[in-house]
Structure 1
Amino acid sequence: MENPNTPIHILQFGTGNFLRGFFEPIIQRYSYYNKPLNICIIQSTNGNTLEKLERQNFQYFLYEAGIKNGEKIQNTQKITCIQSGISLPVDQDKFFEFAGKPEVKWIISNVTEAGLVWKTEDKFEQFAESFAGRICQWLYVRFTKLPDSETILLPCELLPKNGFLLKEFVLKHADHWGLPNDFSEWINQKVHFFNNLVDRIVPGYPSNLDSIQLDGDQLTVQVEPYSFWAIESQKPNFHLLPFVENNPGITIASEIDSFSLRKIRILNGCHTWMTAKSIYLNLHDTVSEFIGNTNLRMEVIDLLDQEIIPTLPFDKEETIAYSREILDRFANPFMAHKFYDISLNAFSKFKSRLLPIIEFHLNHSGLIPQKTAKGLLYLLLTYIEKPEKIRDQEDIKSYFSLLPIGNSIQEKLSRVLSEQFNITWDKTWEKVVEEIQSENN
C-alpha cells in the first residue's frame, strides 16, 4: 500500500537482502541531509518479503558489524526510506501509473544474472514476463505521458556493462514489438542507462547473533562495514545522481570494467566455488566457517593464485593483495553468510563468474584449470544427484530433471558440459570426477 500524500521517487526491482542492505542506507543517508527520497519496492518473484515489509510499514533495521580500521564495530540503523511496495504482475496498473509521475526519476534493480537476460515476448499489449520487457513497456508509457521527463536506470546485476546490456534489450524489445522509431530516439535522449559495479557482503538476517534485540524485526539485514559502488560516467552527473555526491563509498569513473572484472572473478567467483563445493560435500553452512578451516582456506588461495588471478590483466601483486582483503572479509567473525542464500540461481552465476576462467586457460594453454573445473562439477553433480538442493530457475530445474534416467553420471555430465557450456568431455574431466568421488567417500 502507498500513502497518497507521500511521493515516490525511486522504483526498486528487488526485495532481497542485497539492495535493502546496500542501496537503502545510501538513500537514508542522503535523505537525512537533503529533501527525502522515497522508494517503492517491487517484488517480481515468488516469496513473501513484500508482505512482511508491509506489515512493518516498510521499515526494518540495518545491523552493521565487522572490522573497520582495525577495530570491531557494531551499529544499528533504522531504515525508513521505503514508502510503498507492489507485486508484479498483479499490480501492473500501479506500476504503469508511476510512469506518468514526473517525480519518479530512478529505477534501480538487482534481478540477478538470471533475470537480466533476453526473452522473446508475446504481444506488446500483454504484460511482459522479463525484466527488460517490463522496463520497455514502462518507458513507452513514460514516452506517451511525460516525453520531457528524464529517467535514470541503475541495474546492479553482476554482469559487465549491465547498463548498456539493459538498454540493448529494451531497444530490442521496442524493435520486436514494432514501436515507433521516435520512441527509440527518445530513449537515447531522455533515458540514462548507467553501468554499475556494487560490492558489499550482505548475509541477511543475523541469525547467529542471539544477543541482538531489534524490536522483534524479522527483516533485519546484516551488512559488513565495507561498501563500494562504482558508476560509469564521463561526467559527474550529480544532477542525475544527487545521492552519490559527498559519499565516500561511491566512485564515478569514466571506466569501471576493471573494478567489475576484478570483483566478479575474485569475490563472487570464490563465493560460487565455495558454495558448490560445500553444498555437494556437506562441509559447512557459512562462508566464515569455510574460510576458518585452514585446509579449505588454502584451497581457495590456490584457486585464486593459480587459476583466477592469472586471467586478470592487472598488476599481479596488487591483485593478490586485493584477493587477501577479500578473504579477510569472508572471515568476518560477525558474519553468517549462508551458502544456501548464495546458491540462488547458481547455474547462471557460474557461467558469468567462473566459466570465463575455464575458457581462458583452454584458449591459452589448452589445459583445463583443475580447481575451477572441480567447482563446476561440484555444481553439476548437485543438480544431477541432489535436485532437492537446487535453487534455480524452473527451466534449469526442468532441464536436469529430463536428463535420460538410464545414462551414467559421466554420460549426464558430458551432455550438460556440451549442451550448456560448449565444453568437450575428455579424460581430464573423468579424472576430476574420480577426485570428487574420492572426496565424497
Structure 2
Amino acid sequence: MKILNRQDFLGKNYPTRIIQFGEGNFLRAFIGWSIDILNEKTKFDAGITVIRPINTDFPPSLNTQDGLYTTIIRGLNENGDKISQSRLIRSVNNEINPYKNYDEYLALAQDKNIRFVFSNTTEAGISYHENDKVNDKPPVSFPAKLTRLLLERFNHFNGAADKGWVIIPCELIDYNGDALKALILRYAQEWQLPTEFIQWINTANTFCSTLVDRIVTGYPKDEAQQLEQELGYHDAFLDTAEYFYLFVIQGPEWLEQELHLDKYPMNIQIVDDIKPYKERKVAILNGAHTAMVPIAWLCGLNTVGEAMQDDDVREFIEKLLSEDIIPVLDLPENQLRAFAEAVTSRFQNPYIQHQLLSIALNSMTKFRTRILPQLISGMNKGYISERLSFALAALLVFYRGQRFDEFYPLQDDDIWLTRFTELWPRVGNTLDSKEFVRIILSDENHWEQNLSKNDKLVDKVALHLDAILQQGMRESIKSLK
C-alpha cells in the first residue's frame, strides 16, 4: 500500500504564509482543514509551516508524509443526513522542531511572505515561564518562543510597519489573543528589548482572540485499517472530526478580505467581541450537556447518542434550550435557535460515542458556570425556571451515586464528594429534602452567593427532588411536559 508523499500524490503546492504552533489532531482538522478549503475555493494561496512547541518526538513529524494527511469529517449535515467526507490536506508544507533545528525556526521570521500565526498549545500553553531568556535556543514557553521570533522579524526588516503578523491563537482560554499579547510584552520588558520593538508589537501586529468549536476525535485506531483500504493508501496521521465547525475571530473588518472569507465564508465569523458567542456556546452546548447527564443517566441511558434517541429526554433538552436558555441570552434569536438546532444534531452524531459519566466530571462546577447564569437571569425577572431548577434537583440526586440497584463512581472535588457522602444517607431520615437543598445552596464559596436565601428556589428544587426520588426520573420529566 502506498504511503503519502508529494511525489506519488501530485497536486498543488502553496507558498508558506502561515506559521502554526502545534502539530496535534485539533489544529490539523480545524486550521489545516479550513486553510486547505480556502486554498481550493479562493486565491488565498497559503501554505503552513508547523512548529512543534515542546521537545518531544511523539507523534512522529509530519515531514514523514511531506506534510500530507487525511481528514475524515463525519456526522449529520444541515438536512440531518448521515455523511462521511475524506479530504487529502495539502496546506501543510513542513514541520520544524525548534529544539533540533533552531536556526531553521528563526529563519521563518525573515520570510517576507509569512503573514499569519495560528496556535493551539493547550490551555497551559499561553503561560509564563520565569526562566526563559532571550538567548535560549529555544525558550521553553510558547509566548517566549513567539517573542523571540517576532524580535528576529523586527530586526531583519528594521521594524517595517508592513511586516507585522496577524496572530490568531486557538487555545481554550478567555480572550486568548489578549493573554498572549500581554505575555509577549512581559517578556519584552523583562528581556529589556528596545522600546521601538515594543511599539512595533503594539502597532504593526494584530492579536485576535478566538472561539473554536469542533469535536475532533483524532486518529481512528479501531477503523484505521478499513479506512486505509477505502482510501487506497497508508496514512499515519488520519484525523477524524465531526461535521460541525465554527471559528469566531475577534478582529478588524479587513481580516475578512485577507482571509478571503468574502469569497468563501465557510463558518468563520469576524466579530467585534467574542463574549456573546462564548456565552452562547457555554449556555447552549455545554449547558445542554450538563443538564442532560444526570437526567439521561438516571433514566438508564449511557451515552449522549442514546439520550437523544430517547423521546422523553430529547424533548426535555429541546424545550430547555428553546424556552429556558435562549430567551435570556444576548444575541439575535435566529442565531441562537440555529445554533441550538446544530447542537441537537451534533448530539445525535452516530460516529461519536460520548459516555455520560465522562461528561459528568466536576458537574457541580459545570452547573454553576453553564446553567446557573440562566437560572439567575430568570429569577431577576421574577420567575424560576421549572426545567432549570429540575436540572439542579436531578444533579443533586445524581450525586447520591445510585442508579436503580447499581452504584457508580462520582468524580468531583473532594469537598463535594465528602458532603454528599455525609448528607445523602440522612435525607428522608434525620434530614428532609428542603433542608438538604438549603445546605447545598448555602455554599457561598461554590455558588459565589448564598442561593439558599431564595426560599422559592429552595422549595422548587426540593419539590423536584422529592418527585424524582418517589416517581423515578422518567416519570418526573414526563410530568414537566
SS of 1:244's equivalent?
coil
Change (3 A) 1:386 1:60: farther
Q: Report how far residue 107 of structure 1 moved.
A: 1.0
The alignment of Structure 1 onto Structure 2 pairs a total of residues equal to 416
Counterpart of 2:65 in structure 1: which amino acid?
Q
CA distances 1:173-195 after superposition (whole Å, capped 9, x unpaired): 43344433222211112211123
String of CA shifts for 1:90-132, please: whole Å, max 9, x gaps. 65554334233333322112234x2365435235345554433
Post-superposition offset of 1:371: 6.8
SS of corresponding position for 1:111: coil
Residue 313 of structure 2 is aligned to residue 304 of structure 1: no
Q: Check if 1:132 corresponds to 2:148.
A: no
Structure 2 residue identity aligned to 1:288: G
Correspondence for 1:336:
352
Q: Cα deviations across residues 341-360 of structure 1 (Å, max 9, x unaligned)? A: x97xx879x77x96164356
- Find the partner of 1:96 among 101, 106, 111: 106
Partner of 2:34: 26
Distance 2:273 2:445 in 1: 34
Alignment counterpart, residue 292 of structure 1, candidates 306, 309, 313: 309
Q: Secondary structure at the match of 2:211?
A: strand
> After the TM superposition, which residues 272-287 of structure 1 pair with which residues of structure 2 at under 5 Å, given as runs?
284=302, 287=304
Write the mapping of 1:324-403 to structure 2, written as runs, cut at 5 A.
324-333=341-350, 335-336=351-352, 338=354, 355=369, 357-358=371-372, 361=375, 365=379
Q: Deviation per CA, 1:41-68, whole angstroms, max 9, x where unpaired?
A: 2333698664064443332212233444
| SS of equivalent to 1:219 | coil
CA distance in 2, matches of 1:141, 1:8: 18
Query: Are the counterparts in 2 of residues 9 and 39 from structure 1 also a CA contact under 8 Å?
Result: yes
Amino acid at match of 2:184: V
- The separation in 2 between residues aligned to 1:166 and 1:376, in whole angstroms, is 36
Equivalent runs, 1:131-210 vs 2, <5 Å: 131-146=142-157, 147-148=159-160, 149-206=163-220
Q: Which amino acid aligns with 2:276?
A: S
Aligned residue for 2:429?
A: none
By how many angstroms is 1:373 displaced? 6.0
Q: Which residue of 2 aligns with 1:394?
A: none
SS in 1 for 2:60: helix
Q: Which among 20, 31, 34 is matched to residue 12 of structure 1?
A: 20
- Cα 1:179–1:54 shift into 2, 3 Å: same
State the distance in 2 between where 1:166 and 1:381 align: 42
Report the 3-state secondary structure (helix = DSSP H, G, I; strand = E; otherwise coil) of the residue aligned with 1:223.
strand
- Going from structure 1 to structure 2, the CA distance change for 1:78 and 1:31 (only over 3 Å counts) comes to same
Length-normalised TM-score, structure 2: 0.65
Aligned counterpart for 1:65 among listed residues 74, 81, 93: 74
In structure 2, do the counterparts of structure 1 residues 247 and 315 end up closer, same or farther at CA, with 3 Å as the change threshold?
Answer: closer
Report the counterpart of residue 277 of structure 2 in structure 1: 259
* TM-score, normalised with respect to structure 1: 0.70
Conserved? CA contact 1:121–1:129, under 8 Å: no
Does 2:68 align with 1:51? no
Q: Give secondary structure in 1 for the equivalent of 2:203.
A: helix
- Tell me if 1:244 matches 2:244: no
Aligned counterpart, 1:397? none
Deviations 1:121-172 (A, max 9, x none): 2353455544333333332333233332221111223445432332233223
User: Is residue 122 from structure 1 mapped to residue 140 from structure 2 by the alignment?
Assistant: no
- Contact 2:43-2:260 within 8 A present in 1 as well: no
**Once the 2 structures are TM-superposed, how far is the Cα of residue 78 of structure 1 from its aligned partner?**
0.7
- Measured at CA, do residues 188 and 69 of structure 1 come closer, stay the same or move farther in structure 2, by a change above 3 Å? same
RMSD: 5.1
CA shift for structure 1 position 298: 4.5
The structure with the larger Rg is 2
Check the 8 A contact 2:217/2:241 in 1, yes or no: yes
- Aligned partners of 1:198 and 1:228 also within 8 Å: yes
Equivalent residue number for residue 95 of structure 2? 85
Q: How many angstroms does 1:251 deviate by?
A: 3.4
Offset, 1:269: 4.5
Is contact 1:24-1:79 (8 Å) kept? Answer: yes
Structure 1 residues 196 and 226, CA gap change in structure 2 (3 angstroms): same
**Paired position in structure 2 for 1:39:** 48
Q: Distance in 2 between matches of 1:277 and 1:173?
A: 48
Q: Where does structure 2 lack aligned partners over 5 or more consecutive residues?
A: 1-5, 7-12, 402-407, 423-439, 474-481
> Which secondary structure does the structure 1 equivalent of 2:263 belong to?
coil
Amino acid at match of 1:244: L
Paired residue secondary structure (1:141): helix
- Paired with 2:48 and 2:292, the residues of 1 have a C-alpha distance of 34
Distance 1:77 1:258, change over 3 A: same
CA pair 53-281 structure 1, distance change in 2 beyond 3 A: farther
Asked if the contact 1:27–1:81 (Cα under 8 Å) also holds between the matched residues in 2, the reply is: yes
> 1:11: Cα distance to partner?
1.8
- Sequence identity of aligned pairs in percent? 25
- Equivalent residue for 1:217? 235
Which stretch has the larger CA shift, 264-273 or 321-330? 264-273
> Aligned partners of 1:336, 1:40: CA distance in 2, in Å?
30
